[in-house]
Amino acid sequence: MILSGLRRAAMTHWVFVYGTLKKGEPSHHVITTKNNKVAKFVSNGRTVHQFPLVIASSFNIPYLLYKPGTGHRIHGEVYSVNDDMLTALDDLENHPNYYVRQQEPVEISDGSILTPWVYFLIDFQEKLLQKPFLDNYSSSGSHGLVYVDSEDTDSFPGDG
C-alpha cells in the first residue's frame, strides 16, 4: 500500500486536488512545503463518485460542482498535509464562504480508497451545468481556456 511509508502523526489530513494545484499547473507552488506548511504527494487518484468539473468565470477557474452522480469520476492528486497547510488551503479556497471542504472517497493508484478533503462549489448557478464536463483538468488543455491568476486582479472570481 502506498501509505505505508507515511507518518500519519506528522501529516494529519489528506487533500484531493483536481485543478490548478496539481503538479504542472499554475498554482502548484501553493501546495509545496514551506515554512511550517507541509504537503507530501501521496498518489494520483480519482473520485469514486461522479461530479461535474467545469471551467468558468473570466479567470477560467476549474470548479468541482457538488452534484453527485453527474459528470465524471475526477482525476487528481492526493496530498498528506499538516494543519498549517490545510488552513492555508482553506484561506486560498475561501472555505467555507466560497468553496466548501468535504470528505469524499477517492481511489488511489494502488486501488486503495482514501477519504480526503475535497473543495467543492456547492452554491452555484445552474447555468454552470450547461458547460462541458471534464474528467481531468489541465490549464493548457484542448479546451483553450487558460487559467488567469486572480492574484493579478482586484476582484474575487465569480461563478458565472
Residues with active-site annotation? 93
Question: What is the grid cell recorded at 38?
Answer: 507541509
Question: What is the grid cell recorded at 26?
Answer: 499554475
Q: Amino acid identity of 138?
A: S
* Helices vs strands, H then E, count in the chain: 1, 9
Q: Which of 21, 53, 51, 25 is nearest to 37 (CA)?
A: 21
Q: Amino acid identity of 132?
A: P
